[in-house]
Chains A and B, each alone.
Chain A
Amino acid sequence: MTVETLLQNLPWKAVSVTDPGREITGGYAGDLLSWVMGRAESGDCWLTIMSNINVVAVAQLTDVACVVFTEGVMPDESVIAAAKQHDINLIACDEPTFAAGSKVAELLR
């Protein structure tokens, strides 16, 4: 499934999607960036409520396919600008992380 397909299937907001064809191969949920750094895998759809700019750096480092901000969290302009610059896909939704993750998992089946 690509990031574009994910967005076609779920009413989530494409905050900054510069690489819609990126393939999603798995998922990861977590907010402690020091943990995410060592655990999220390349191709993951990463769900988090953390919106600090370091999220972009961690997304780059782990090579996740996209970042989904859950629970209505919306990153600020500086985060969006950094994501565009580094080609990191950012998505936002209002759902709690568990519910959002379940939907991604369902689509990945």
Chain B
Amino acid sequence: MTAFAYDLHVHSCLSPCGDDDMTPCNIAGMAHLNGLEIVALTDHNASRNCPAFFRACETYGIVPVAGMELTTAEDIHLVCLFETLEQALAFEEALQPMRMQIKNRKGIYGEQRILNENDVCIGEEPFFLPAATMLDLETAAKRVAQYGGVCYPAHIDREANGLLAILGAFPPEPVFLCAELREAEHRELAEGRKILVCSDAHRLWELKEEGEPIELDAPKDDPAAVRKALIDALKRGRL
């Protein structure tokens, strides 16, 4: 087994609440400085900055993971991660008709910028991304699995959009084997589920700097193998 320093919940400038400085290249660079080895890009209901992020991570030898932070119909945030970039992009495309078409008001929420691998803006998302989708919790979990990914509730120790604040307790379905925390000390909230402590960074300085690593059965120099091992471990709840 190999230990990896990780942060599996990071927003780029595609999220309206993400800082403009959260470009794919800046995130990869900062993650490198922080000693992170696996980093997932998880914008609100979107994965379109993941292609640029994958390129940026190559430069620094970081294993990139494509994903998103999905808002369910109940307003619960789920971290969704995929083994490949293609799966994440296919999932995002399938999600399009399930999103609310509320125009993003830049002055209020912020810009939603899509960048290329040189941090050049190549597009903007016109509709407000973080709004609740039409997928309820159970359907969302099934849909993510259909696309080969894995999902688990984000920041369960947070009042806003945390599963426990919204549902009061873990529901019987879907079964989540993992849960994300902002702070490791809130471990008991997960009731024995495997814990991932991640930053949910919206600004560069919020990226994770320290914490328990994750143990995976994969060599450090093979990003595809590391992603496969990671997604597999998350699906089985074996971390």
Contact = CB atoms under 8 A, between A and B. Distances in A.
Interface string B42-80: 000000000000000000000000000000001000000
Interface string B124-152: 00000000000011000000000000000
A5 interface: no
From DSSP, what is the main secondary structure of chain A's interface residues? helix
A24 B169 CA distance: 26
Interface string B162-203: 001111110111000000000000000000000000000000
A32 B169 CA distance: 11
B172 A36 contact: no
A37 interface: yes
Chain B, interface size: which category? 10 to 19
B165 A54 contact: no
Interface of B is mostly: loop
A34 B173 contact: no
B74 A50 contact: yes
Nearest to B137: A52
A14 interface: no
Contact of B164 (A34, A50, A52): A34
With most chain B CB atoms within 10 A of its CB, the pick from A34, A37, A50, A52 is A52
Interface of B: 74, 136-137, 164-169, 171-173
